[in-house]
Structure 1
Amino acid sequence: MGIAETYTRGRQFAITRPGSVLLALVGVVLLFDLVAGLATGRHSFSGIGSLVWDGLMRGLVIGLAGIGLSMTYSILNFANFAHGDYITAGAFSGWATTYLVAGFGRADVGALLLVGAGGSVFGGTLGIGVTTTPVAVVAGILVAGIATVALALFVDRTTFRPIRDADGITLLITSVGVAFALRYLMQFVFGSSVRGTTSQPPAIPLYLVDGAVRIDAHDVALVVVAGGLMLGVHLLLQMTKLGKAMRAMADNEDLAQITGIPTERVVRAVWVIGGGLTGMAGYMFILWKGTLGFNDGWLLLLLIFAAVILGGIGSIYGAIVGGLAIGLTASVSIIWIPSAFARAAAFFVMIVLLLVKPEGLFSGRSTA
């Protein structure tokens, strides 16, 4: 290939795909600045490593919670804005269980079930953590998943199922109403205060060139739980009859009904699987960050939507990869911009990538 032909192809690519060229240029500039900062001491390997690790942890939570949202869209054809409050509901139910198990006999049962509302009891005082109260944490994870499944099925039966044949806008607006009802019900029951939930976990230093990245037991727990659940979803989709039925219904619901697939059973499975993953994601998010508030899920919801859209609406694998991308962007971007704009940076990256690849990273609407 001659120089002239290479130039011609490059020029045509720049004209037809200006977004790709702009994205590449921005990436080169940021990479150059990062390398220059490391060389001059403006940035440190340990500092960047800590941001990357924080982004991975945040991305695992977003990706795990995004699976349920992606399932809802691909099977039921609507964006469920109540999903963020399912996260919070799972977190509160799971942490109420953890507090009760860890603090039974040491504090008032009512205060424990309300997760220390009003400062009546603190997770740090109870010594709650993966290494200190493992039984309480495991019980909390399980109850978070089960309680969110029950909530999702109840809301579907009483609210979504009667209008399931309506258009997506009707279902979306209904889900917004459900979200507000759940959020302020939780605020009424548990209070509006943000409370600490765990004691300081022991940290394992991962040494780099100029320092160490500190990885604690709660980080490890998040990696194990989220990774195991994601692997389980993959095996379910690819190796079971239910997974094949879900993929078939996502591709063509009418054809799935004609071929005898029990669509109502598939819908229930979506709420069970999606609700369970969402509730456990909410619990693990609180375990990782160490504080709990009534609007945590709502604040996380926009990042989950960004991840699902970036990965390709309806793609479960896309939701996972999109979650990791959004989490890393939100954390690492503070190298170049003030931390207050980290969320905006995540959405900016989503927009730029969609300009380059409008169908999303995993291209299209499919449970796989």
Structure 2
Amino acid sequence: MDVSDTIARGKEQLRMQPLLLLAVLAVVVLTIDLIARLAGVEVPLSNGRSFGGALSMSRFGGLVWNGIIVGLIFGLAGIGLSMTYSILNFANFSHGDLVTTGAFTGWGTSLLLAGWGIGDLGHLLLVRPGSGANPNEIGASIVQAPLSIIVGVIVAAVATVLVAVAIDRIVYKPMRDRGGIALLIASIGAALALRYVIQFVYGGRNRGVTSTQEVTTPIAGFSVNMHEATLVIVAGGLMLGMHFMLQRTKLGKAMRAMADNKDLALVTGIPTERVVTATWVLGGALAGVAGYLYVLERGTIEFNLGWFLLLFIFAAVILGGIGSIYGAIAGGFVIGLVHEVSLIWIPSDFNAAAAFLIMILVLLYRPQGIFGGVTTA
């Protein structure tokens, strides 16, 4: 097929699908408007509004950077959700509350280490449920107490793995042969139970946890937010580690084989139950770390933060191609960038809608997602 045939086919698709045409036109108009804003060009329109306007490169760069940070969170948490679907074939709605589990257990440990001798132990371990030492007095930050942050990340991963494996053994394993719908409904029940256990133990109050003192550090003439830098390093390292594990280890090959054909994997001697356990271990660890890093960057924590993030995580996984970890990462970046960059044109109350609109368009015209197909690779 030559170039003219491809162009003709594209024109035919646009003519037959007006919604796609509108989406393409919207992208073109927004791109032109963005260029005009960056160039400082403003064109008045007949309705009293204007096209273009002033947009500094620093603000645009800040929005893109925020999108990358948010995308890393969505992508990291989405890997575990995608793995669960590809190997166990059900959408795990308790995944968001595993994110919350990692956030609270990790930060309870970090506050305890950073604030040892400063605040009441119960106040620190339960992540400041009431009045007491404030975050700046405790000093939990990567600059003031780096060891507490490192240990917090590890504890967040381990604690979430224990909870995820326990839920699998108690709830999902006895139901594994009943189909995806039964498991999905069970996961909703597990999510509600876990969420309100967290609320009972830690309280329902939104509270600050990270110190705001000396978080920004000058490096090579630039002011670098060390919490964001830590997030990028940890999340990026874990994503590279997952790639290496899937492509270079026996466990990764076994997981890819199970994702392709579970029955054939069982016949060929792959220990499927061990692979399932490994899926929960890896997925739970990544979810817990994602929750911890989200709070590290955000600075505050609440019992339903994972529930609020779950829709974005699902959107990232669906956009990238449910079942593909690389799709989850790519989808996370797309959702994160749209979520933040859309603030140029719309108020912050509506930027979530822009991210979900992108997901809907992908579902309409490429249901298999960016990386299309159910595969862990």
Map 1:221-236 to 2 at 5 A. 221-236=230-245
What residue is the counterpart of 1:332 in the other structure? 341
What residue is the counterpart of 1:109 in the other structure? 121
Q: Report percent identity of matched pairs.
A: 56
Structure 2: runs of 5+ lacking an equivalent: 41-52
What residue is the counterpart of 1:60 in the other structure? 72
Say if 2:227 and 2:296, in contact at 8 Å, map to a contact too: yes
Alignment partner of 1:135 out of 139, 147, 153: 147
Find the aligned partners of 1:77 and 1:35 in 2 and give their Cα distance: 44
Find the aligned partners of 2:34 and 2:7 in 1 and give their Cα distance: 29
Q: For residues 204 and 25 of structure 1, do their structure 2 counterparts lie closer, same or farther at Cα, with a shift above 3 Å needed?
A: farther
1:152 aligns with 2:161: no
Find the aligned partners of 1:2 and 1:64 in 2 and give their Cα distance: 40
Q: For residues 338 and 263 of structure 1, do their structure 2 counterparts lie closer, same or farther at Cα, with a shift above 3 Å needed?
A: same
1:349 aligns with 2:325: no
What residue is the counterpart of 2:49 in the other structure? none
Deviations 1:223-279 (A, max 9, x none): 000000000000000000100000000011011101111000000000111111110
Q: For residues 173 and 35 of structure 1, do their structure 2 counterparts lie closer, same or farther at Cα, with a shift above 3 Å needed?
A: same
Alignment partner of 1:97 out of 109, 119, 133: 109
1:169 aligns with 2:181: yes
Q: Which moved more, 1:7-16 or 1:336-345?
A: 7-16
What residue is the counterpart of 2:331 in the other structure? 322
Find the aligned partners of 1:191 and 1:165 in 2 and give their Cα distance: 37
Q: For residues 7 and 134 of structure 1, do their structure 2 counterparts lie closer, same or farther at Cα, with a shift above 3 Å needed?
A: closer
Question: When the two structures are aligned, how many residues end up with a matched partner?
Answer: 364
1:71 aligns with 2:80: no
Q: For residues 177 and 13 of structure 1, do their structure 2 counterparts lie closer, same or farther at Cα, with a shift above 3 Å needed?
A: closer
What residue is the counterpart of 2:216 in the other structure? 203
Normalising by structure 1, we get a TM-score of 0.94
1:303 aligns with 2:312: yes
Find the aligned partners of 1:65 and 1:11 in 2 and give their Cα distance: 38
What residue is the counterpart of 1:264 in the other structure? 273
What residue is the counterpart of 1:280 in the other structure? 289
Partner AA of 1:23 in structure 2: A
Partner AA of 2:291 in structure 1: G
**SS of alignment partner, residue 119 of structure 1:** coil
1:109 Cα deviation from its structure 2 partner = 0.8
Structure 1: runs of 5+ lacking an equivalent: none
Find the aligned partners of 2:351 and 2:216 in 1 and give their Cα distance: 26
Find the aligned partners of 2:76 and 2:230 in 1 and give their Cα distance: 14
Q: For residues 4 and 173 of structure 1, do their structure 2 counterparts lie closer, same or farther at Cα, with a shift above 3 Å needed?
A: closer
Q: For residues 4 and 298 of structure 1, do their structure 2 counterparts lie closer, same or farther at Cα, with a shift above 3 Å needed?
A: closer
1:18 Cα deviation from its structure 2 partner = 5.0
Say if 2:15 and 2:21, in contact at 8 Å, map to a contact too: no
